[in-house]
Amino acid sequence: MVYDQLRRLAARCLSRERPDHTLRATALVHEAYLRLVDSEVAWEDRVHFYRVAAQVLRHILVDHARAHGRQKRGAGAERVPLEEALMVGPNAPSGIIELDEALERLATHDRRMSEVVELLFFGGLTYGETAAALNISPATVHRELALAKAWLYRELARSS
């Protein structure tokens, strides 16, 4: 029942990756499924499932990037708009590993802002679904996303 949605999320995540990426959407979905099945989570509802799935997809992509030894981009990096700073893939100013590290730092500063970014960008949830998953209003999602983007942009700019 959720396979098609997971496949769309995986395809969306991988569409932003480099063209010669070795991980395919089907493999990503199967790996995510295995991790989700092995988890002992008491699923509350559909949004809760996709919230956990977003985290799993993120971790799989980060693990894959680390396994392939992606190098951190050096000094002299080109300045880019904030939206591109959060993008994963060949056009990204920072790789997925740097984004993951920045999200981890954000989580220590403000866990909910980190979750908002994770659910929207990795989980493919809408603003309304993200608000429901975190038990906050859609307006709060918008506000926290704006703050999180600014925070992440600053962090990613420091590391480049």
Tens digits of residue pLDDT in 24-42: 778 888 888 888 877 788 8
Tens digits of residue pLDDT in 95-125: 778 888 889 999 999 999 999 998 888 888 8
What's the pLDDT band for 45 if we cut at 50, 70, 90?
confident
Domain spans in the chain, listed from the N-terminal domain onward: 3-159
Query: How many Cα atoms occupy the beta-carbon half-sphere of 3 within 13 Å?
Result: 5
Give the global pTM. 0.55
pLDDT, greater one: 1 or 151: 151
Structure confidence at residue 62 (pLDDT): 81
Out of 88-102, 121-135, 143-157, which region has the weakest mean confidence (pLDDT)?
Answer: 88-102
CA 73 to chain centre: 19
Residues in the chain: 160
What's the CA gap between 53 and 103, in Å, rounded? 17
Q: Give the sign of the dihedral formed by CA 131, CA 137, CA 141, CA 142.
A: positive
Residue 43 has pLDDT above 90, yes or no: no
Structure confidence at residue 83 (pLDDT): 53
Tens digits of residue pLDDT in 63-104: 877 776 644 444 344 544 545 545 544 444 447 788 888 899
What's the CA gap between 134 and 68, in Å, rounded? 33
